[in-house]
Amino acid sequence: MSKIVLKRIYSKELPDGYRILVDRLWPRGMSKLRANLDLWAKEIAPSPELRKWFSHDPEKFPEFEKKYMDEIEHNDYTKEFVDTVITALKDQDVLILYGAKDEEHNNADVLIKFLNKEINK
């Protein structure tokens, strides 16, 4: 069965699958060729205001998680994004890619929680 895999886009080896970048900004130093994306879903990323407020501060993460989850739930793009993930999962793994250095406190981590909840309804 296909699964959702969370990976930092800078990882040396990325498994095969449908590759989705979930950051609003393009990762520094990453070429589009090397990224080899199927989708750049910048519309599902945190708003610029929320991203700047969070500023990758682990102490702010619990509040960031609540605020970002609220943004996801009220985002007009969310249904299309979830449908795309579900469709891709029928044939292959889906790689949710992000650029943040902190692998535990980032928007992709929150988005994975949301996706798992939506897919397992």
Return the bridge partners of 39, or none. 20
Query: How much is the pTM?
Result: 0.94
Residue ranges of the chain with per-residue pLDDT less than 50: none
Q: Sketch the domain layout of the chain as residue ranges.
A: 4-119
User: What would the pLDDT profile of 29-59 be if each residue is shown by its tens digit?
Assistant: 999 999 999 999 999 999 999 999 999 999 9
Write down the residue that tokens 């979830």 correspond to. Answer: 82
Predicted local distance difference test score (pLDDT) of residue 37: 97
Angle, to 10 degrees, between the axis of helix 107-119 and the axis of helix 78-89? 70
